[in-house]
Amino acid sequence: MKTKKKKKVFVEGPISPEFIANSIAKHQTKTTIGAHDIFLGQVRADIIDEKTVAFIDYSTYQEMAEDKLDEIREATFEKFDLTCMHIYHSLGKVAAGEICLFVFVSAKRRRVVFDAITHIVEAIKKDVPIFGKEVFEEEGHVWKENQFEG
């Protein structure tokens, strides 16, 4: 059996707009691609019990998370005819307004990237053990729990 090296997903701190721009630029040499789709998760300054979220401190159960992300990656490649796929998620502090998740998929045509990106983002939210401590501007914190829309 072929052993594959796990791809690096976790980055310390927020994902910068420059990093995202560079990722797009790197794909300009791949001229079989006709469509990209990008999902960016951004930290919201939610107000909970009259306190405002200043930042989320992300942590993970890393080995399991990386295994799960590998499974998601493989299943997505099997299901959708993609040319490439990149997933990055922050660990540590990410302030309100900053980017914590960057998913980038590319294919020959548009339809497949729309479907693939939804599939990947939903799977990350549901199946990958990533935890988020929402720390308030005022004082204290709560633990975030992903919501799933109908």
Partner 1 sequence: MIAEMADCLEENFSSTEATKVDDLVAIVTAKYPSMANLSFKVALNNRLAQSSDQLGERDEIALLPPFAGG
Binding site for partner 1 (CB under 8 A): 41, 56, 58, 60-61, 63-64, 67, 89, 100-101, 121, 124-133, 143-146
Least separation in angstroms between CB 28 and partner 1: 27
Could you give the C-alpha distances from 147 to 24, 122, 132, 144, in angstroms and in order?
30, 10, 13, 9
Which token pair is 150?
């109908």
Least separation in angstroms between CB 34 and partner 1: 27
Which token pair is 63?
């080995």
Query: Which residues, 6 or more positions from 57, have their beta carbon under 8 angstroms from its beta carbon?
Result: 92, 93, 132, 133, 135, 141
Least separation in angstroms between CB 132 and partner 1: 4
Least separation in angstroms between CB 120 and partner 1: 10
Nearer to partner 1, 33 or 68 (CB): 68
Query: Are the CB atoms for 129 and 68 separated by under 8 Å?
Result: yes
Nearer to partner 1, 81 or 127 (CB): 127
Nearer to partner 1, 34 or 129 (CB): 129
Distance between CA atoms of residues 96 and 1, nearest Å: 44
